A = this chain, B = another copy of it.
Amino acid sequence: MSEPTLDILGIGNAIVDVLARAEDRFLEAKGLNKGAMALIGPEAAEALYAAMGPGVESSGGSAGNTCAVAAGLGARVGFLGKVADDALGQVFAHDIRAVGVHFPTAPLKGGAPTARCLILVTPDAQRTMNTFLGACVEFSAADVPEAEVARAKVVYMEGYLFDPPAAQAAFYEASRLAHQHARQVALSLSDAFCVERHRHAFRKFVREECDILFANESELLSLYETDDFDYAAEQVRAEVGLAALTRSEKGSLIVAGETTLQVAAVPTKVVDTTGAGDAYAAGFLAAFTRGLDLAECGRWGSVAAAEVISHVGARPQADLKALVARK
């Protein structure tokens, strides 16, 4: 087996975010569930876009954000995800390549446009997300090249990828290839509502395929249908070799066999919490694939998350390498 030439291969929905301010009464009038991520079709996306205020566009996607942060920490990173052959697809491809991420997936031609997430920020700084998956629904097992999986130490997949149907097959294909090449499979649960939509599929994948699990408290509780965090953590310990469970300002809990580690959060002024989990996973995996111990993996996760929540937008703006070097 050859030496891995990538540390992390991320797989996820390739999405461009459109951020706009909105009042609470706008969410109410449109029947939007504040703070949640909802999937919407092309007509609903067009209608909501026409009704909402002026926007700011930037590359997003959960695993895409993780890849950008991990690359900023010096990890060698690849990303698989489906954009369309249009201007927003070029924006996504440019932005992820500009931070040094290898992005080999061919754009979709002549089909749906590049996915976008219409994000409404209310005066209380909460984000309500409305995702039109567009070209992402065409991402399938055929978009998971064996060579790309074989060359990465860890394949990292976002739970949101359970939403487009063909991507579930891609998940299993990526996992099969990874294990065949003695690589590890990491999963982020992404969102409590997403877990609820696909709980059975998540449970099966976590139990049978997942080597490293990332989840926040509400996602974990949803996965095991409990309101007891300690119980859920013990379930995870029994089912997954390594799990990092994030708890906002309470930091994170790392569970690995008989080991349990409490990791502190890095204090910061919170401006926008979007991407905190994506950044934590990035920091954790960048340290992990570099062979650092679990305490250091958790610390890198906390540092990366703190940077991302200190400004608007889920991609890093500071020199992350310098931030983790400072102890």
* Chain A residues near B (Cβ < 8 Å): 20-21, 49-50, 52-59, 68, 86-88, 91, 94-96, 98-99, 113-114, 313, 315, 317
What would be 16 A-B contacts, judged by CB atoms less than 8 Å apart?
A20-B98, A50-B94, A53-B98, A54-B68, A54-B95, A55-B58, A55-B91, A55-B94, A56-B56, A56-B57, A56-B313, A57-B57, A86-B87, A87-B87, A87-B88, A87-B114
Q: Which of chain B's residues have a CB closer than 8 A to the CB of A94?
A: 49-50, 54-55
Q: CA separation between A49 and B317, bound complex, in Å? A: 18
Question: Which residue of B has the minimal Cβ distance to A94?
Answer: B49
> Which of B53, B58, B315 is the one whose CB lies under 8 Å from A57?
B58
Q: Are B54's CB and A98's CB within 8 A?
A: yes
- The residue in chain B whose Cβ has the minimal distance to the Cβ of A116 is B87
> Known: A86-B87, A94-B49. Contact between A56 and B55, CB under 8 A?
no
Shortest Cβ distance from A21 into B: residue: B317
Residue of B whose beta carbon sits closest to that of A20 = B98
User: Distance (Å) between the CB of A100 and the closest chain B CB?
Assistant: 10
B residues less than 8 Å from A313 (CB atoms):
56
Q: What residues on B are CB-neighbors of A53 within 8 Å?
A: 98-99
Q: How far is the CB of A314 from chain B (nearest CB, A)?
A: 12
Q: How far is the CB of A311 from chain B (nearest CB, A)?
A: 10
With both beta carbons as reference points, the residue of chain B lying nearest to A56 in the complex is identified as B58
CB nearest to A16 among chain B residues: B57
Alpha-carbon distance between A313 and B68 when the two chains are bound, in angstroms: 23
On chain B, the residues within 8 Å of A91 by CB distance are 55, 57
Min Cβ gap A97→B in Å is: 8
A58 to B88, CA, bound (A): 12
B52 touches A98 (CB 8 A): yes
Q: For residue A50, which residues in chain B have a CB less than 8 angstroms away from its CB?
A: 94
Chain B residues near A86 (CB-CB < 8 A): 86-87
- A130 to B68: give the CA distance in the assembly, Å: 25
Q: How far is the CA of A56 from the CA of B53 in the complex (A)?
A: 17
Other 8 A-B pairs with CB < 8 A, given A21-B317, A54-B96, A57-B57 = A49-B94, A53-B99, A54-B98, A54-B99, A56-B58, A56-B313, A57-B91, A87-B113
Contact present for B58 and A95 (CB under 8 Å): no
Instruction: Tell me the complex Cα distance, A293–B91, Å.
Output: 46
Q: How far is the CB of A87 from chain B (nearest CB, A)?
A: 4
Per the bound structure, the CA–CA distance linking A52 and B50 in Å amounts to 31
Complex CA gap A113/B91 in Å reads 14
CA distance A95 to B20 in the complex (A): 10
Query: Considering the chains assembled together, what is the distance between the CA atoms of A151 and B54 in angstroms?
Result: 25
A322 to B: closest C-beta gap in Å: 14
Closest Cβ neighbor of A315 among chain B residues: B54
Query: Smallest distance from the beta carbon of A113 to chain B beta carbons, Å?
Result: 7
Q: Which residue of B is nearest A317, CB measured?
A: B21
